[in-house]
């Protein structure tokens, strides 16, 4: 497939002008806007109001309701404006044929008020009316104009989500200026689609968002919001289609067939049988490996579904084809765990796994790097440094990435180029809703493990108010005296790491006093890695029966003897994260329990979250509910994830548009793979508008 150049079309240049190009926005204000809105004209155009002020009510004064926002014409009767720094307010009495209303100002400049209010003058005022001492008052009116200036007062006024350092009037004025800079763009959607959905054109939809005529215009289900959401989803799906198309037309690679007898002998040596879903996924992956196209596959499975074993079988297929295999894990702890498991599983198979982690000496690392580049090492396990540019492989056939759903298309592409081009298998224990999978992983094939190995016992989940912590400790003490091991999870408070650490240390001290026989140990992210590993090892060996920790244990920790987990302030966690934490227990054949401690009163969302967790252990059902309750960014951790940060689309509301976008994108790329037709060229503007630069860099890479 020919290399495709997507430079930003010149027609889009005004959209990406800096906000300082707008009248009234200097460097200081632009800096404040950058934190919340962005740097460019298009960022402001995509920053929509969330509510309105309706100023259309013009009732008689005697019929005004307390708290009502009104716009009325009155005559100034008396003006009482204190001079100097007096504490008493300024009071202006006004009236019309239907009654009187008092205007009140606190600490306003007297000269300004005197120029605004003159006895006998007729003015129009707009603002909120309150009742005070049987009087109707308007404190600091939003608008005060003459009759000739009546059109200055908008009937409907948009309200933007802003910090205290930015003013509504500035954003309203700047938004309208920004819209005037955006050109009328060629249409990129089919006329039939626009007609069937009753959608306006792109710019008209933007204008309607910033100039609502009613509260209904702010609804995400309105036609103009759905149009803009579709444009963004279409850009995403079009980029992914282009990538898939490029992959399918890329240079063929040598198929990885492996030694089937060796694979069968390994599976037969296991002390358990593969589940039906494991067998199915092993076949799916092996078919990919045998293909001449590079594999890019996502393997998702609930906690304890056996993903790592499936990955090891794929790695053995690469190794027995004469290639190398690498497993990338997010932490040293998890890397060591995989290493120990592989050592045990591969006993007697003449394949020696090697561990590469940051805490090793420079001499150890150098030896491993040399053995990797010469091909001596066939199977290596390590942290993210394993796949950096300075780590060279002799013949890497498969890179497996564990628990790293938090990276995007660009990073996946970089991985696939390792060793001159290798297969990539990404594993995640965070079940991903279908809508997220289509947007974040649309360039990957997806395999799903949807059953757990035989013998796994269902985890019982219950919730308690946190003021019953004494009762919980008493029950936990009895369980530990009976031989149980338990996790006690303290929540993270994003604003302050110091508070987090203090809270978890306080909880450790309390439990040491109340349950000394449990020999509690502590693990959190701010500890030195060797201290943390020592605590984890003590818990794993049974020297300690109680691990007090933050969410550092959320993924990868596999201690089958642990059968109880207590999650403190569970209302602060998302559903998927609670499910991940719960998955630390129930990993063996012991009856397991999860206790959710919450602070009342619970919000509606928090209550729904805890109720769902108590009702089901199905991670995929939980993931769908989490998406519905919180949105895509929170489900996978927006700041770090490969999930696109949609600004106009909300997947929990616009999910139906995603399927349409996928079909439209596939149809277009099949008809016009190089985007050279009139419509294709128009679609290139979507890449510019929605900054699909990852896809563009991928395509330009050759």
CATH number of 549's domain = 3.40.50.300
In a domain, 255, yes or no: no
Residue 445: other Cβ atoms inside 10 A: 15
Claim to verify: residue 556 and residue 465 sit in the same structural domain? yes
Q: Which residues are CB-neighbours of 601 under 8 A, at least 6 positions away?
A: none
Which pLDDT value is given to residue 131?
Answer: 94
Claim to verify: residue 465 and residue 582 sit in the same structural domain? yes
In a domain, 375, yes or no: yes
In a domain, 341, yes or no: yes
The residue assigned the tokens 């008052």 is: 137
Claim to verify: residue 202 and residue 349 sit in the same structural domain? no
Give the C-alpha separation, 625 to 605, whole Å: 11
In a domain, 667, yes or no: no
From 579, 601, 616, give the residue that closes a domain. 616
Claim to verify: residue 587 and residue 476 sit in the same structural domain? yes
In a domain, 253, yes or no: no
Claim to verify: residue 334 and residue 287 sit in the same structural domain? yes
Dihedral over alpha carbons 451, 454, 455, 458 (to 10 degrees): 20
In a domain, 586, yes or no: yes
Claim to verify: residue 416 and residue 310 sit in the same structural domain? yes
Give the C-alpha separation, 686 to 239, whole Å: 10
Mean pLDDT by 10 residues, the chain (702 residues): 59 93 94 91 95 95 95 96 82 96 92 93 96 93 93 94 86 96 94 97 96 94 96 88 73 88 95 92 95 86 85 97 91 85 93 90 90 94 76 90 61 65 82 67 79 75 91 92 92 51 82 93 83 87 92 72 92 83 83 92 86 84 71 42 68 86 92 88 84 50 44
SS3 for 385-444, per residue? HHHCCCCCCCCEEEEEEECCCCCCHHHHHHHHCHHHCCEEEEEECCCCCHHHHHHHCCCC
Which pLDDT value is given to residue 88?
Answer: 87
Q: How far is CA 522 from CA 153, 196, 506, 532, 535, in A?
A: 61, 60, 11, 7, 6
Nearest to 338 by CA among 187, 150, 487, 555: 555
From 397, 423, 449, give the residue that closes a domain. 449
Claim to verify: residue 402 and residue 508 sit in the same structural domain? no
In a domain, 252, yes or no: no
Give the C-alpha separation, 661 to 230, whole Å: 7
In a domain, 624, yes or no: no
From 575, 596, 616, give the residue that closes a domain. 616
Give the C-alpha separation, 597 to 674, whole Å: 56
Residue 518: other Cβ atoms inside 10 A: 23
Which pLDDT value is given to residue 44?
Answer: 96
Claim to verify: residue 469 and residue 439 sit in the same structural domain? no
Claim to verify: residue 285 and residue 415 sit in the same structural domain? yes
Q: How far is CA 274 from CA 270, 280, 307, 313, 448, in A?
A: 9, 10, 11, 11, 14
**DSSP result, 456-493:** PPPEEEEEEEGGGHHHHHHHHHHHHHTT-EEEEEPPP-
Find out whether 75 and 67 touch, Cβ atoms under 8 Å. Answer: no
CATH at residue 119: 2.40.50.140
The residue assigned the tokens 């009937």 is: 155
**Domain that includes residue 540, residue range:** 459-616
Structural tokens at position 623: 């993931």
Number of domains within the chain: 4
DSSP 524: -
Residue 559: other Cβ atoms inside 10 A: 20
Claim to verify: residue 298 and residue 341 sit in the same structural domain? yes
Claim to verify: residue 143 and residue 272 sit in the same structural domain? no
Claim to verify: residue 280 and residue 369 sit in the same structural domain? yes
Structural tokens at position 645: 């940060």
């Amino acid at each position: 497939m020919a290399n495709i150049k997507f430079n930003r079309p010149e027609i889009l240049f005004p959209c990406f002008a800096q906000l300082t190009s707008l009248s009234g926005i200097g460097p200081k204000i632009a800096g404040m806007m950058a934190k919340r809105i962005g740097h460019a004209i298009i960022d402001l155009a995509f920053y929509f109001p969330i509510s309105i002020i309706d100023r259309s009510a013009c009732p008689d004064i005697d019929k005004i309701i307390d708290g009502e926002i009104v716009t009325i014409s009155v005559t100034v009767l008396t003006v009482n404006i204190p001079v100097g720094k007096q504490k008493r307010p300024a009071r202006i009495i006004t009236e019309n044929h239907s009654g009187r209303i008092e205007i009140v100002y606190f600490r306003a400049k007297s000269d300004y008020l005197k120029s605004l209010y003159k006895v006998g003058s007729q003015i129009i005022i707009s603002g909120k009316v309150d009742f005070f001492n049987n009087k109707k008052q308007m404190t600091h009116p939003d608008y005060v104009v003459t009759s000739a200036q009546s059109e200055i007062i908008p009937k409907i006024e948009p309200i933007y989500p802003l910090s205290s350092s930015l003013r509504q009037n500035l954003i309203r004025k700047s938004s309208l200026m920004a819209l005037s800079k955006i050109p009328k763009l060629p249409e990129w959607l089919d006329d039939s689609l626009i007609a069937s959905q009753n959608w306006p054109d792109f710019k008209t939809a933007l204008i309607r968002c910033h100039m609502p005529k009613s509260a209904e215009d702010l609804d995400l289900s309105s036609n103009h919001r759905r149009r803009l959401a579709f444009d963004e989803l279409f850009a995403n799906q079009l980029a992914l289609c282009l990538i898939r198309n490029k992959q399918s037309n890329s240079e063929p690679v040598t198929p990885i067939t492996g030694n089937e007898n060796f694979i069968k002998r390994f599976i037969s040596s296991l002390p358990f049988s593969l589940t039906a879903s494991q067998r199915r996924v092993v076949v799916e992956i092996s078919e990919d490996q045998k293909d001449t196209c590079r594999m890019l596959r996502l393997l998702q499975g609930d906690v304890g579904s056996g993903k790592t074993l499936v990955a090891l079988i794929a790695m053995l297929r690469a190794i027995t084809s004469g290639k190398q295999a690498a497993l990338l894990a997010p932490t040293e702890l998890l890397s060591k765990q995989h290493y120990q498991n592989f050592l045990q599983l591969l006993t007697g198979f003449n394949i020696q796994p090697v561990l590469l982690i940051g805490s090793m000496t420079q001499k150890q690392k150098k030896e491993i790097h040399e053995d990797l580049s010469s091909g001596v090492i066939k199977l290596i396990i390590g942290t993210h440094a394993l796949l950096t540019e300075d780590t060279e492989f002799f013949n890497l056939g498969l890179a497996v990435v564990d628990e790293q759903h938090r990276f995007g298309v660009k990073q996946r592409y970089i991985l696939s180029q390792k060793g001159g081009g290798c297969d990539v298998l990404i594993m995640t224990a965070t079940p991903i809703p279908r809508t997220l999978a289509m947007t974040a992983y649309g360039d990957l094939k997806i395999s799903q493990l949807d059953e757990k190995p035989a013998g796994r016992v269902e985890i019982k989940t219950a919730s308690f108010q946190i003021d019953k912590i004494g009762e919980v400790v008493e029950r936990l003490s009895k369980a530990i005296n009976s031989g149980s091991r338990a996790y006690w999870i303290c929540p993270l408070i994003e604003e302050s790491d110091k508070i987090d650490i203090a809270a978890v240390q306080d909880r450790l001290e309390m439990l040491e006093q109340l349950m000394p026989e449990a020999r509690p140990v502590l693990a959190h992210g701010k500890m030195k890695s060797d201290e943390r590993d020592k605590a984890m090892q003590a818990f794993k060996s049974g020297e300690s029966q109680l691990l007090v920790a933050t969410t550092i244990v959320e993924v990868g920790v596999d201690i089958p003897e642990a059968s109880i987990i207590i999650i403190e302030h569970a209302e602060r966690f998302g559903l998927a994260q609670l499910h991940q934490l719960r998955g630390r227990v129930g990993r063996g054949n012991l009856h397991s329990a999860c206790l959710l401690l919450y602070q009342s009163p619970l919000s509606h969302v928090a209550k729904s979250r805890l109720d769902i967790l108590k009702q089901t252990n199905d991670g995929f059902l939980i993931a769908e509910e989490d998406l519905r309750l919180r949105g895509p960014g929170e489900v996978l951790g927006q700041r770090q994830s490969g999930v696109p940060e949609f600004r106009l689309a909300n997947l929990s509301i616009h999910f139906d548009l995603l399927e349409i976008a996928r079909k439209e994108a596939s149809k277009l790329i099949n008809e016009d793979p190089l985007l050279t037709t009139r419509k294709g060229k128009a679609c290139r503007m979507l890449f510019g508008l929605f900054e699909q630069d990852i896809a563009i860099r991928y395509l330009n890479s050759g």
